[in-house]
Amino acid sequence: MAKKTVNVAMIGAQFMGKTHSNAWRKVGMFFDLPVKPVMKVLCGKFPEELAVAEKYGWQETSLDWEEVVARPDIDIVDVCTPNFLHPPIAIAAAKAGKHVMCEKPLANTVKEAQAMLAAAKKAGVKHMCAFSYRFSPAVSTIKQMMLRGDLGRIFHFRAAYQQDWIVDPNFPRVWRLVKKHTGSGALGDIGAHIVDLCHHLVGPVAEVCGALQTFVTQRPLTESDTGISGKSGEKRVGRMGEVDVDDAAVFVGRIAGADTLASFEATRFAPGRRNFNSIEIYGSEGSVLWNLEDMNYLQYFSRKDPGHLQGFRRVHATDPAHPYVGAWWPTGHIIGYEHLFVHEVYEFVSGLGKSKVTYPTFEDGVACQKVLEAVEKASKTKKWVKV
């Protein structure tokens, strides 16, 4: 007997559209699912971006997201657009009774994020905020360690998400550098990930103090402001445009209900750091470290080891004992960035018939958005701000 199917519509066909397309296409090949996802419609803003639809595996294309989310044959809407479009699409999809997966940050403001959550709850649909790094086998292993209390009382959470893709002042002003489109710069784009990892692994941030900085305040304008790469050959229009978001954010925080100190750095101005998402957790019984550029490993120090054997051990998180790995390759055969999105889709589809889910929801997106907004306020007031 054939499995029941669910029809998926994805809105947005750029960088995240590519990663999500790969995930929808591969998830059923490696994981057993309660229902089979059908890649029904790819929706984009420009006809030329939809040229990839057949290659990515989508059956149809559309330039009208409103028509797509209202279609009775669509069960899931996957939102991969620039941030400012997340609220109208997700809210419309929820009102139409569709389950919604949405990229992070959930919205540009707390108010918008809360409206998205309210719409999803009222409609009774499943909702995910796509914090993909939760789905690394190493990070999932660290989560298990935290639940067991392996590190004891937590003293410090330290995170740094460092990139270097806009260090060149001649890099064009893409949409991620325009506040009305993106909400904030490095803070919301990559800082959101490390805030969520803190919430997921250690606990919610209760108050913050920090600073934002824009190093390059004007950049060349191009005929199109899409994309994350400056190598696309976009035609320059001969004018400069204002950059009104942060290039870097540095902030500290306190964890609710604990005396844990947390520190965060999110920057796109760290030459040599291509996509260095790193976390460190230090506790009374041990410590654990992980970074995305070496994502198949975690480092673990235990104070319970004999004195003459104490030191950080490098744990290869590719054994089936680690979450998700059993669906992939034999031990030691590493996985990559794209696999995290497959795990994400697997969890979302597997949770469609469940009353309780373990993946990040719009509630987690709202919690993260509150921290981002508090950091912006703290930077302006130069004072501690409660979340």
In this predicted structure, what is the pLDDT of residue 238?
Answer: 74
In this predicted structure, what is the pLDDT of residue 235?
Answer: 62
Say if residue 171 is in the same domain as residue 110: no
Say if residue 144 is in the same domain as residue 105: no
How big is the chain by its Cα radius of gyration, in Å?
A: 21
**Can you list the alpha helix ranges (DSSP code H) found in the chain?**
15-30, 53-56, 65-70, 86-95, 110-123, 137-148, 179-182, 186-189, 191-201, 337-350, 362-381
The pTM score is 0.95
Distances in whole angstroms, Cα of residue 4 to Cα of each of 35, 213, 283: 5, 50, 46
- Give the separation between CA 19 and CA 212, rounded to whole angstroms: 29
- Give the separation between CA 135 and CA 323, rounded to whole angstroms: 9
Helix axes 362-381, 110-123, angle to 10 degrees: 170
Say if residue 172 is in the same domain as residue 46: no
In this predicted structure, what is the pLDDT of residue 257?
Answer: 96
Q: Which helix (H) or strand (E) holds 103?
A: strand 99-103
Side by side, the strands of the sheet bearing 261-267 are 313-316, 297-302, 286-291, 276-283, 154-162, 261-267, 248-255, 205-213, 385-386
pLDDT in tens, 256-281: 999 999 999 999 999 999 999 999 99
- Give the separation between CA 34 and CA 126, rounded to whole angstroms: 15
Residue 213's CATH number: 3.30.360.10
Say if residue 255 is in the same domain as residue 379: yes
Distances in whole angstroms, Cα of residue 144 to Cα of each of 4, 86, 137, 149, 216: 32, 31, 11, 9, 41
User: Whose CA is closest to 361, among 204, 192, 128, 156?
Assistant: 128
Say if residue 42 is in the same domain as residue 171: no
User: Whose CA is closest to 92, among 46, 141, 43?
Assistant: 43
Neighbours of 252 (CB within 10 A): 17
Say if residue 382 is in the same domain as residue 287: yes
Say if residue 50 is in the same domain as residue 160: no
Say if residue 31 is in the same domain as residue 140: no
Residue environment code for 203-212, b if the CB has 16+ CB neighbours within 10 A, otherwise e = bbbbbbbbeb
- Give the separation between CA 278 and CA 295, rounded to whole angstroms: 9
CB 370 within 8 A of CB 387: yes
Say if residue 179 is in the same domain as residue 324: yes
Residue ending a domain, among 108, 133, 158, is 133
Residues 6+ positions from 138 with CB-CB distance below 8 Å: 290, 295, 296, 297, 298, 315, 317, 322
Helix axes 191-201, 362-381, angle to 10 degrees: 120
- Give the separation between CA 149 and CA 107, rounded to whole angstroms: 33
Residues 6+ positions from 25 with CB-CB distance below 8 Å: 39, 56, 57
Say if residue 223 is in the same domain as residue 350: yes
The letter for the amino acid at 79 is: V
In this predicted structure, what is the pLDDT of residue 223?
Answer: 78
Say if residue 262 is in the same domain as residue 192: yes
Place of tokens 């900085």: 213
User: Whose CA is closest to 17, among 338, 351, 366, 371?
Assistant: 338
Residue ending a domain, among 93, 116, 133, is 133
Q: Coil, helix or strand for 307? A: helix
- Containing structural domain, residue 245: 134-386
pLDDT in tens, 57-66: 999 999 999 9
Which residue ranges of the chain lie beneath pLDDT 50?
Answer: 1-2, 229-233
Tell me how many domains the chain contains. Answer: 2
- Give the separation between CA 371 and CA 206, rounded to whole angstroms: 8
Residue 48's CATH number: 3.40.50.720
Say if residue 126 is in the same domain as residue 149: no
Residue ending a domain, among 133, 163, 194, is 133
